């Protein structure tokens, strides 16, 4: 009995051989299918503990249970000091899958790239429902790694012509055009007021600290703007002003999680619209809000990671990529731990 392991080299080869667009497109399709399925399994809110200097970082575990078939668990570390101090990504994680019947470890792979891609795909799905179909200007507040896949995903479902980028780190904003050169879009650094006034869709993707938000002023937003709020993932951390949330139609991805640590922690349950999966099941209800301000509170939940792992394993099988190794000690005699195969 073996475990499928996809190393960073395997994942890189998959993306290069299949192409960025094919990977993202499949993720969008598969996520949309999962969001509209009648039986999606059980996805509890994630849990974890604060860590790092001043409790500014966190490590969380995110489980999804597909009864009778499998369990997917992502462990993910959020460390805002990583890029500048250690030259590592802010978000580092790994994905594991277990057989639901025996508990065996079936698969193990990187969680960094799948997290970025599934987060972008979720924004694309929410934006398709709530933003104007002719949206041409994307505003990105925050120009880190997550901003790349936000721009990529949205470019796959909207006729984007221009991307405006704002970041408190000027070097991050300046380098963004090179990092998304494969999109072939006009990318410009903009101040916050210009970005708010011009963007049809805005994604907030920052590492703002607890108690330091919001990162939008909310003073110059277009009446029909759709906002994908990505960065709120800790209690007391948020990016969108409460006044904007109170005046907008707000849909969370996972209600319990969003009320605890997303933008929705600034609101009450009665202030929220239907969650994203409910809207996916009734897109006409979502479309009625396209001429008003809308917000998708994207905290990221484990069903998305479950689908992301599905996509990776499918692509790996199609390409014949991946290692099969024996990780677990499975003795000849199940009653004797010293019995070796």
Residues 33-68: tens digit of each pLDDT: 999 998 889 999 999 999 988 888 999 999 999 999
Span 212-243, pLDDT tens digits = 989 999 999 999 999 999 998 889 999 999 99
Helix (H) or strand (E) holding 137: strand 137-141
pTM over 0.75: yes
Phi and psi dihedrals of 145, rounded to 5? -60, -40
DSSP structural state of residue 90: S
Q: What is the DSSP string of 194-240?
A: HHHHH-SEEEE---PPTTS------SS--TT-EEEE----STT--SS
User: Strands 137-141 and 162-166: what pairing?
Assistant: parallel
Q: Which helix (H) or strand (E) holds 98?
A: strand 91-99
121 near 24, Cβ under 8 Å?
yes
CB 200 within 8 A of CB 175: no
Helices assigned H by DSSP within the chain: 8-18, 20-36, 112-130, 145-155, 170-179, 192-198, 242-247, 255-261, 276-281, 283-287, 302-319
In this prediction, residue 341 carries a pLDDT of: 67
**Per-residue model confidence as pLDDT tens digits over 243-264:** 999 999 999 999 999 999 999 9
Cα separation, 187 vs 160, in Å, equals 11
CB 297 within 8 A of CB 242: no
Q: What does each of the 341 residues of the chain score in pLDDT, given as a tens digit? A: 799 999 999 999 998 888 899 999 999 999 999 999 988 899 999 999 999 888 889 999 999 999 999 999 999 999 989 998 999 999 899 999 999 999 999 999 999 999 999 999 999 999 999 999 999 999 999 999 999 999 999 999 999 999 999 999 999 999 999 999 999 999 999 999 999 999 999 999 998 989 998 999 999 999 999 999 999 888 999 999 999 999 999 999 999 999 999 999 999 999 999 999 999 999 999 999 999 999 999 999 999 999 999 999 999 999 999 999 999 998 889 999 999 86
């Amino acid at each position: 009995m073996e475990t499928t392991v996809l190393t960073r080299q395997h994942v890189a080869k998959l993306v290069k051989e299949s192409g960025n667009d094919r990977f993202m497109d499949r993720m969008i399709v598969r996520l949309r299918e999962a969001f509209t399925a009648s039986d999606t399994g059980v996805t509890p809110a994630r849990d974890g503990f604060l860590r790092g200097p001043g409790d500014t970082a966190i490590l969380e575990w995110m489980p999804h249970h597909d009864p009778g078939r499998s369990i997917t668990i992502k462990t993910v570390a959020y460390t805002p000091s990583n890029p500048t101090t250690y030259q590592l990504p802010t978000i580092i994680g790994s994905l594991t899958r277990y057989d639901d019947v025996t508990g065996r470890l079936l698969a193990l792979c990187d969680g960094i790239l799948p997290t970025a891609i599934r987060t972008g795909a979720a924004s694309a799905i929410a934006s398709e429902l709530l933003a104007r179909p002719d949206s041409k200007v994307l505003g990105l507040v925050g120009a880190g790694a997550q901003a790349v896949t936000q721009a990529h995903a949205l470019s796959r479902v909207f006729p984007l012509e221009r991307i405006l980028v704002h970041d408190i780190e000027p070097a991050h904003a300046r380098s963004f055009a090179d990092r998304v050169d494969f999109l072939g879009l006009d990318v410009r650094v903009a101040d916050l007021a210009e970005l708010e006034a011009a963007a049809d869709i805005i994604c907030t993707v920052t590492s703002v600290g607890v108690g330091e938000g919001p990162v939008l002023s909310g003073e110059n937003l277009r009446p029909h703007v759709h906002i994908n709020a990505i960065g709120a993932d800790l209690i007391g951390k948020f990016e969108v002003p409460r006044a904007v949330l109170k005046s907008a139609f707000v849909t969370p991805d996972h209600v319990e999680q969003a009320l605890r640590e997303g933008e929705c922690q600034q609101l009450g349950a009665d202030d929220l619209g239907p969650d994203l999966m409910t809207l996916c099941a009734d897109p006409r209800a979502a479309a009625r809000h396209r001429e008003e301000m809308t917000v998708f509170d994207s905290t990221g939940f484990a069903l998305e990671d479950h689908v992301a792992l599905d996509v990776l394993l499918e692509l790996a099988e199609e390409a014949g990529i991946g290692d099969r190794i024996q990780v677990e000690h499975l003795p000849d005699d199940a009653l004797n731990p010293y019995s070796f195969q």
